[in-house]
Structure 1
Amino acid sequence: MSGAQPAGRTHDPGSGSAHLGTDVLRAYATRPLPGEVRGPAEAHLDRCAGCRARLSPLLADEAELTSLWERVDRATDEPTRSLLERCALRLGVPEDAARLCAAMPALRWSWWGGAALLLMLSVAAARLSESTSAPLLFFALVPALSAVGVVAVTGQRFDPAYVWLAVSPLGGFRVVLLRATAVQVLSLVLSAAGAAGLPLAFPYTLGWLVPSLMLTAVCLALSSRMDALPAITLTLTAWAVWLVAAYNSALPAATRILLPGTQLAMAAVALLALGALVVLRDGFDRQGRRAAAHEGPTTGTRGLA
């Protein structure tokens, strides 16, 4: 019995050693082997170049294996892209800017779903109500929602990624401007879709545009020097006072904000706010640095805990 060859092995007369049989090599290449067979087989392959050479053709095609590993690398290394980020990339937006815009609380579907629902209800109320003041709700909501959406991406209180302002190569002001523009564009599209259903003549259905830009500019200018919450609170309070002062039941939508003179006044306020925003833009960089300084010790403490 001592001269018998082990199962699955063949004798190599030239070297005097037993090599792995073809059936064992094929099984090793295609399926897991039992432990009592796999251990000796791997030990033999480790020291036998001939068996390794015979095993290579039985393994998966090298090009196919390389392609498989590339797909695995892409699946594990590349972050999952949201629908908004994919759309931005297709429009030619740089990858870093697209990801920076997509990672915003104010661009989540829940936010836009809620905003769309409010606008739909206001349009429905305007169409179903016999009151001439019914469309006023739409003209009051659209600028307010636009300002709230923008402030949600410019303040540390609402945006957990606000610390990016300190580390982004774009700089704090440019990041805020980029993200605010993305929110404003989507808000304008949503508002335009809702305005098409208002029971008003065409020029009046665009009466929300200038107030939206005005509130956004004012809120951004205030955010450069104070926290987002007081900034949006002051902006919306002033907007509510403006709406009360402009109320007139004899006018379309029962408000003076649709009149050309009022629209020009609001446009002037928007331009002044934009000028102040440019002058005070360094405030966003300082806020980003303070947020990063505050986040650093907090993170370190958590790590030690």
Structure 2
Amino acid sequence: MTGTQPAGHTHGPGGNSTHLGPDLLRAYATRPLPAETRDPVEAHLDRCAACRERLSPLMADEAELSSLWELVDRATDEPTRSLLERFALRLGVPEDAARLCAAMPALRWSWWGGAALLVLLTVVAARWSESTSAPLLFFALVPALSAVGVVAVTGQRFDPAYVWLAVSPLGGFRVVLLRAAAVQVLSLALSAAGAAGLPLPFPYTLGWLVPSLMLTAVCLALSSRMDALPAITLTLAAWAVWLAATYNTDLPAATRLLLPGTQLAMAAVALLGIGALVVLRDGFDRFDKQGRTAAPGGPTAGTRGLA
């Protein structure tokens, strides 16, 4: 070989030929070399069949090393998944939908820890208080918590991740339903666990279920046309009026909420709320720059704007 010899070269048995040393071949196969070293090595390999033959098994090791690095890259690039997101993926929920459902404040442990503490306190008060109206606190609080948890997924005021709707391939209405369903399932599970501790006969302990669905449907329908804060304010104000109107100390838990007629009335309101939600569903696809729903026909109608 004439000209510049790459570092690490050795001479053949007769001293007439020059070959690349094993250390240099291994370095070329396993890691990037500086240009001043790599270029002479590659020039030599183009002309030397013996060195190419010695390089082949080392390059096989390089292929295995590349495969290992690909596994490392995938492991480091893959996002950390929460328990809820992993559970949703196991149930067959699409990855993008599972990520959108899991990334919201209403599904954080802090939120559910506080909600669980409030439910526990209402159950303890119902069991240890001598007042017949003590269980009413549970039936008043549980539907309100359900509505608050759901409305937190319908606007940027409470959920900064809500701007993902602007770039999500899913429709705004579908994302809201998915996220609201996730919150509602957890809320119903928490409420059912608390109801089991109430000092009431079994049929009455389910009196919170229909009100929870009713407030959720009404609040979502309102959220399609207004900001989350006035939506939940109006819903809870109407709920307080309903509680006052149904208060009766002669009935279980001192309320008519548990009576079949009142339950049917609340179920009717829930159905009306669901119908209104379906009719107004386009409101979740229109946002102004503050992440609130734009007025129908406004400048942002039919568009999605990032905050």
TM-score normalised by L of structure 1: 0.82
Alignment partner of 1:122: what SS? Answer: helix
Instruction: Single out whichever of 246-255 and 228-237 deviates more from structure 2.
Output: 246-255
CA gap 1:30/1:62 in 2 versus in 1, 3 angstroms: closer
Report the Cα offset of residue 290 of structure 1. Answer: 7.8
Matched with 1:198 is: 198
Write the distance in 2 (CA, Å) between the matches of 1:284 and 1:290: 14
Structure 2 gaps of 5+ residues are 1-5, 292-299
Report the Cα offset of residue 190 of structure 1. Answer: 1.2
| Equivalence map 1:135-284=2 (5 Å) | 135-284=135-284
Report the Cα offset of residue 158 of structure 1. Answer: 1.3
Matched with 1:3 is: none
Structure 2 residue aligned with 1:46, among 37, 42, 47?
A: 42
Q: What amino acid is the match of 1:153?
A: V
Q: What amino acid is the match of 1:88?
A: A
Report the Cα offset of residue 168 of structure 1. Answer: 3.0
Report the Cα offset of residue 149 of structure 1. Answer: 0.6
Instruction: Single out whichever of 72-81 and 90-99 deviates more from structure 2.
Output: 72-81
Is contact 1:105–1:159 with CA below 8 Å preserved after alignment?
A: yes
Summarize deviations over 1:185-220 as a string: whole Å, max 9, x none. 111111111111111110011000000001001101
| Equivalence map 1:284-295=2 (5 Å) | 284-287=284-287, 291=291
Summarize deviations over 1:90-120 as a string: whole Å, max 9, x none. 1111222212211222111211111111111
Write the distance in 1 (CA, Å) between the matches of 2:127 and 2:188: 21
TM-score normalised by L of structure 2: 0.82
Structure having the larger proportion of residues in helix: 1
- Cα RMSD of the aligned pairs, angstroms, is 3.1
Report the Cα offset of residue 54 of structure 1. Answer: 2.3
Q: What amino acid is the match of 1:135?
A: P
Matched with 1:75 is: 75
Is contact 2:119–2:138 with CA below 8 Å preserved after alignment?
A: yes
Write the distance in 2 (CA, Å) between the matches of 1:294 and 1:86: 29
Write the distance in 2 (CA, Å) between the matches of 1:114 and 1:178: 23
Seq. identity, %: 79
Q: What amino acid is the match of 2:208?
A: W
CA gap 1:8/1:92 in 2 versus in 1, 3 angstroms: closer
Write the distance in 2 (CA, Å) between the matches of 1:64 and 1:10: 28
**Count of residues paired in the alignment:** 288
Q: What amino acid is the match of 1:47?
A: A
Write the distance in 2 (CA, Å) between the matches of 1:79 and 1:246: 49
Write the distance in 2 (CA, Å) between the matches of 1:116 and 1:267: 26
| Equivalence map 1:21-40=2 (5 Å) | 21-22=21-22, 24-25=23-24, 28=27
Summarize deviations over 1:5-54 as a string: whole Å, max 9, x none. x99642136894543434x348748999xx9xx99865653332144542
